[in-house]
Structure 1
Amino acid sequence: MLIEQIPLENGCALGLRFEMQKYPLLVIRAEKGFLMCGYLNVSAAETLGDVAVKVKGVQSFGDMLKATVVEVTKFARELGVETGMTGREALEKMF
């Protein structure tokens, strides 16, 4: 597992990378929520009350920041996160 600090304008996020068989499982955790890759389930995060945002087709933290948000929980929407914004834009709203 790789843990990396990711500096953003509104704070410093924490990136977690788990090497799986073919592609990495990636999560970037901000103060109020997290950005996840396609391995993880937004419905489960919503059920648990999490601020969660999903991007797909990523293999690095840099990819996640540039990728387009494809799915969000209602709790993320309450912070102003919307599908179509970048992962970076979504994370900035989670501080």
Structure 2
Amino acid sequence: MVFIEQIKLKGGIALGLKFEMQHASLIVVKAERGFVMCGYLDISTAEKLGDVAVRVSGVNTFEDVLTAEVKSITPQAKELGITLGMRAKDALELMF
């Protein structure tokens, strides 16, 4: 099953995509200039493509993503002021 949800943040509206896989959910939340991805996706590919991206893990809902701690970031995300350990919601705010 696939879920799409608009997520209202202070800086704008992010788009949440959730794909229910066999054992866990694959989740991406996209803001204007970048996105937060779950552990299913590869941060090194986002880095090679020059994307502003952060990775979180252990999430199953959009709310889980927003409250999760950022585990890895691309250099482009770092340029926006995103740091390891910050909440993904705060990282998304910097992506508007």
Please report the TM-score for the alignment, with normalisation by the length of structure 2: 0.98
Q: CA deviation at 1:11?
A: 0.4
1:18 aligns with 2:19: yes
**SS of 1:46 mapped into structure 2:** helix
Map of 1:2-17 to 2, 5 A cutoff?
Answer: 2-17=3-18
Please report the TM-score for the alignment, with normalisation by the length of structure 1: 0.99
For residues 32-77 of structure 1, the C-alpha deviation after alignment (integer angstroms, 9 at most, x for no partner) is 0000000001000000010000000000000000010000000000
Q: What is the aligned partner in structure 1 of residue 29 from structure 2?
A: 28
Equivalent AA in structure 1 for residue 80 of structure 2: L
Extract unaligned runs of 5+ from structure 1. Answer: none
Extract unaligned runs of 5+ from structure 2. Answer: none
**Displacement over 3 Å in runs of 4+:** none
Percent of aligned pairs sharing the same letter: 57
**SS of 2:19 mapped into structure 1:** strand
Map of 1:1-95 to 2, 5 A cutoff?
Answer: 1-95=2-96
Q: Give the total of aligned pairs.
A: 95
